[in-house]
Amino acid sequence: MEILKPADVMMSDWNVIVIIHQGAKIEKFLGYWHQKDTYRISSQIESYDSETGRGRTITGSRYKFLDKPGVLHPEAQSIFDMLDKSNNVIVSLKYPSFNN
């Protein structure tokens, strides 16, 4: 996975992925990144405002969500599935996803 610099990100087909590793819990945005036409998984979430559809990560990236959290884009879903198969972490989606 490529480490990305802080950016302004427009995202859709997304959710918050909750990752528990060695007892520590972190939350990251995971979805379709419009500017790059691929998936993106963020660094740890600093804030998310469901009213404005905006979020920020601890590394300074700013997110604008084009839809509500829910079903992941197929590329993002493949990343979720890969993490879910790992023996070292427990992953889940924070918001209901009726297609998974």
In whole angstroms, give the CA distance from residue 38 to residue 52.
23
Q: pLDDT band at 100, cuts 50/70/90?
A: very low
Looking at residue 55, its pLDDT comes to 98
pTM over 0.75: yes
Residue 83, pLDDT > 50, answer yes
Average pLDDT over residues 24-52: 96
Average pLDDT over residues 62-88: 96
Looking at residue 95, its pLDDT comes to 96
Could you count the other beta carbons within 10 Å of the beta carbon of residue 68? 11
Task: List Cβ neighbours of 18 (8 Å cut-off, separation of 6 or more).
Answer: 25, 26, 27, 91, 92, 93, 94
Looking at residue 69, its pLDDT comes to 97
